[in-house]
Amino acid sequence: MSIGVLALQGSFNEHLAALRRIGVKGVEIRKPEQLQHVIALIIPGGESTTMAKLAECHNLGSLCGGLVQGLFSWQTKQLASQKSGGQDLVGGLDCTVHRNFFGSQLQSFETELSVPELVAKEGGPATFRCVFIRAPAILKAGPDVEVLADYPVPLEKLICSKSVDESQEEKLRSEEKVIIAVKQGNLLATAFHPELTADTRWHSFFLKMVGEAGDQKLNCISTTEGDLSDHQTPNDLPIFQ
């Protein structure tokens, strides 16, 4: 069994390349029948409205909603649930999510953040370089949701006037942080783009979630330079070292 990557729109190529770098076979998913051959699914970050429309055109919309019951799923950037009245692409997470919390494309940014849960599982540096592009944030997580990372929000970055009610604004100002990575059961969600960096620890973390659930084995490929050269050129990824 392999790892599927929803390949309708967004950064699916970067996820596939990250899987190759750690020696795992990734499969592009564009048709419902292809889901039968994967053990887990990565839903890449991208333009969520466009992705939702394409999913419906390819008869994947309703299936994606049911995937969380049977497959391990990781959704990057546009998280797998929404606040009341928001767009709901996948569902399954007991979270209140704020779309585009950090602003427009012009407000995209990178920052080094502490990731103790990731380090405990994967080792490596104490921080991870997070790439936020029109990024959402989790404002509230349910009791069964494990918070993996949060972001200390400077007050000037709070978008309170348009989409955060008074009670949420007061809470955010008192805590000055929002949640940006969570795990709940077979779901992983991140508000940033790990696939745009050379650090593959989040991909390894996700694969360990899958592996710990049972004895199914993943198809692996060699990660020698000779093998990778068949799939990518050295400069085909906008990865940050």
At 45-84, the pLDDT tens digits run 766 666 667 667 766 655 555 554 556 888 887 665 544 4
- The answer, yes or no, to whether residue 133 has pLDDT greater than 70, is yes
User: Does residue 238 sit within a domain?
Assistant: no
- The answer, yes or no, to whether residue 4 has pLDDT greater than 60, is yes
- Residue 216: give its domain's CATH number: 3.40.50.880
Domain that holds residue 100: 2-228
Mean pLDDT of all residues in 130-137: 90
Which sign does the torsion angle of CA 79, 6, 15, 10 carry?
A: negative
Q: What is the rounded CA–CA span in Å between residue 210 and residue 73?
A: 9
Domains in the chain: how many in total? Answer: 1
* DSSP H or E stretch at residue 54: helix 48-57
Percent of the chain with pLDDT over 90: 34
Residues 183-205 have pLDDT tens digits of 998 899 999 999 999 999 999 99
- Residue 51 has a pLDDT of 65
pTM: 0.77
The set of residues, in sequence order, having a beta carbon less than 8 Å from that of 187 and lying 6+ positions away, is 68, 72, 73, 74, 75, 80, 92, 93
User: Does residue 233 sit within a domain?
Assistant: no
- Residue 14 has a pLDDT of 93
- The answer, yes or no, to whether residue 139 has pLDDT greater than 80, is yes
- Residue 148 has a pLDDT of 96
- Residue 98 has a pLDDT of 85
Decide which of 57 and 143 is more confident: 143
Q: Work out the mean pLDDT of the chain and round it to a whole number.
A: 75
- The answer, yes or no, to whether residue 235 has pLDDT greater than 90, is no
User: Does residue 237 sit within a domain?
Assistant: no
Task: Report CA-CA distances (Å) from 197 to 18, 177, 186.
Answer: 9, 23, 24
Q: What is the rounded CA–CA span in Å between residue 75 and residue 183?
A: 11
Structure tokens at 5: 């990557």
Which range among 44-58, 87-101, 175-189, 211-225 has the greatest average pLDDT?
A: 175-189
Which range, of 32-46, 47-61, 105-119, 209-223, averages the lowest pLDDT? 209-223
Decide which of 69 and 37 is more confident: 37
Backbone angles phi, psi at 144, to 5 degrees: -95, 0
User: Does residue 240 sit within a domain?
Assistant: no
